[in-house]
Amino acid sequence: MSRRGRFITIEGGEGTGKSTLVAGLRGSEAFEQALFTREPGGSPGAEEIRALFVSGETDRWDALTELLLINAARRDHVVRTIEPALAAGRDVICDRYLDSTRAYQGVRGVDREVIDAMHETAVGLSPERTVLLDASPETGLARAKARAGPDRFERMEGGFHGALRAVFLDIAKAEPGRVAVLDATRSPEETLAATLEALAC
């Protein structure tokens, strides 16, 4: 029987350097055969939903509507992109996944039990390993503001981002075997080296 690929996710708040880390992993020998993808998005249908999800005013959708949108996008993403790659033996590295839903929609008022139940019903697939990039909201938002065109989540008030960080860290504390927490204030080179070490097993 052929080897099934590993499903790895990269998580963190706004401006923690996920995109930079993913770019570094793309260039590494360890993951030269891996499939790199993102959420929301990662398949044509999911990318269309992403455009609805991240644009517009901060109050465009309530939290439950966001949860429905993200699960519709995630199912299409998993069915059309992630599962075929894993079944073919390729590792998949995804920029955001279920933990981001737990954090973002959880902070916005959806119970964790509802989030997890909907994920299990609509999708079912969970990551084997997760790298959580951690930085203070002040650091992350300063980085995010330096980019052009902040999205609707980056424009949410500062207390929201502090609550996000707390949820991410709580998830990591509850699942230390899956989630590796890395200091996102280090240089991109140091962060990449630490990530490769964390994923070496």
DSSP strands (E only) in the chain? 7-12, 35-38, 92-95, 129-134, 179-183
For residue range 117-165, what is the model confidence (pLDDT) as tens digits? Answer: 999 999 999 999 999 999 988 777 666 666 655 555 555 565 888 999 9
- Neighbour-count burial for 28-54, b at 16+ CB within 10 Å, e otherwise: eeebeebbbbbbbbbbebbeebbeebe
Specify the pLDDT at position 137. Answer: 81
Single pTM value for the model: 0.89
Domains of the chain plus CATH, in order, are 7-198 (3.40.50.300)
What mean pLDDT is reported for the chain? 91
Closest CA to 63 of 29, 101, 31: 101
Question: Are 130 and 94 a contacting pair, CB within 8 Å?
Answer: no
d(CA 136, CA 87): 37
181: helix, strand or coil: strand
For residue 61, pLDDT over 80 is answered with yes
22 closest CA partner among 190, 197, 188: 188
